[in-house]
Structure 1
Amino acid sequence: MALSMESHSNHYVPAQGYSDKRQLEAPRVNVPPPELNYKDGKPTFQVQPVPFNQISEQYGNPGFLRALVSSNTLDMTHSMLTWQYEMRRNAQPILPFLFLGPSSVARDATFVKDAGITLLVAARSSKSVRTRKSFLDPATFASSTGIATGTLDFDHPAEFISLVKPVIKAINDHLEATCTSTPHLTRIRGKVLIFCESGNDRSALLTAAYLMIVYGIEAIAAIQMIQSQRFSITLSDDMKNVLLDLQAITSAERQVSDANAAMTSLNDAPGRDLAAPPRPSTKRNIDDFYTSDEEMGDGLEQMESANSRGGVAPFVDADG
């Protein structure tokens, strides 16, 4: 048998080159540092939010979210000069009402009380939850007494996008319920702590998604914002690519909202009905009928031509 295999290997060679690279790896996503300005010796940068324009309530009350975005300037002071390794055990405010940190901080009743946390949101591994139902369940923490809790469970980042919308809505609904003056957002009493085991991966992914969906910023800017406050985050390339996918989705949602708003405004314009152009006839004449048949025939010929093309053999004769 071995002789037979050796004989075959001498008669055939690969038709194309082979690669030993791992083709299924996620594309690398490079996150450059933000462009910093040094004000009073401190590295700072600004992220420009996009006004919230959606009419749908899939992420919360649109009126509240418009007021929320317009009332917050994303002026960040980078922690690169002051960050210490031990700070990874603490929680950092990414926004005045949004904290990111590890599960140990979420269990700390003193921190939760002193920071004014009113909602604990855990980003958990579905596999770990199946093994132990109470895994990182904030409702079981002593620190959660009298405050709201929530969870987002996923294993692979590819599952994330389909699950994140209800969590974003729950966060925004909670913030709105604690707001004393919605039109001007004079005060938001609620504060949210998003956490995972380390505070550096799943919870950072959820925090980035919140910034992108609500503030309309791009994936790279969201990562830069979070890393400027919590320098220890470690998003995998899979996670970064999911954020890029989410960026495309949220951008499309905003474009649809803009188009719908423009259409509504146009339809509500005075004299719109009087100026409406006559509708063209939808009936086909005899020329249209035969033209469409000819086009269909051309399409069938192209399909037959494509189907008749031969494939490429994986191996060829060594002498030919």
Structure 2
Amino acid sequence: MATPLHNDLETKPGVHRQQSFVDFLSKSRNSIYLVVLSIFEALVVIALEAIIFKKFYYSRFSKEKLGLGIPVYLMIFIFSQAFQVFLGWDAVRNQNTIQIIAFTLFNLCCFTYAMVQFRQMDRALKEPILNNIPVAASLKHFIRQILIANAVVIAICEVIYIYLAARLYQEFGWRIYKKIGADPEIRNMYRWYQIFVMILKLDIFFFLGYSIQYLVLVLQLGDMEYPLTIIALPVTCLVLVSAVYAVRHESKNLMILFFIGLVAGIAYFVFKLARIYDPGEEANYRYFKEFLTFFGKQ
């Protein structure tokens, strides 16, 4: 069964003759600029992170299996950039004003994380047995230079994103107004729907980020949690996607299943966080505790 919002959209003149995405882009330069800039930023940032990884991989730190937190930090950043490109493209495709704002804030979080990386890298490279070895100081200096370039690129892109977001907010707002009209109730329903879908997308990002880190960096193939975590990946994503279907079609049964899934998810992450801070597991989470905690709490 369709939602009242869906029915109202269908009855508005011209709504059933929506423009194709390509036609829309041809009339919205700001949308093109935002998508292209997000791709450019991702390529540059991923390239810089790859340079750091290559330098680290062929250094004595890697050979001595020290500074193991560095691959974690790089992987998170690369994953976040790929997700940000999707976020921007999807926001433009759906003309979603809420997601445009979330996209800008997400990039701001990436900039904050780029600044935090300075402290993270310094701490990860502070290995007592290598303190007096020249390669340690040389590697730290090289990584610091790359991190500065990384932060500058993201900061410049953020300023441009803020300008584009302001323009697109007005542009999309007018297009949405023409689609759903001036009815305050319908507009409010549509706004909450956009917020709900945006939260679900972020949930998928944080869950995948957490699970990938946990699988690659903590678990071993013989661990009992390894297959369970792999099974949880598609199941959780399916639950989150089903929530969108349930809202669009007013399916009470699916929403009940979604809430049951949320409760199970909370229990799952409480268990994982308890394991992370278990004194007996300290050695397994030495380099990854902060990041797993951050992703697990989202």
TM value normalised by structure 1: 0.23
Bigger strand fraction: 1
Bigger helix fraction: 2
TM value normalised by structure 2: 0.25
Greater Rg over alpha carbons, structure: 1
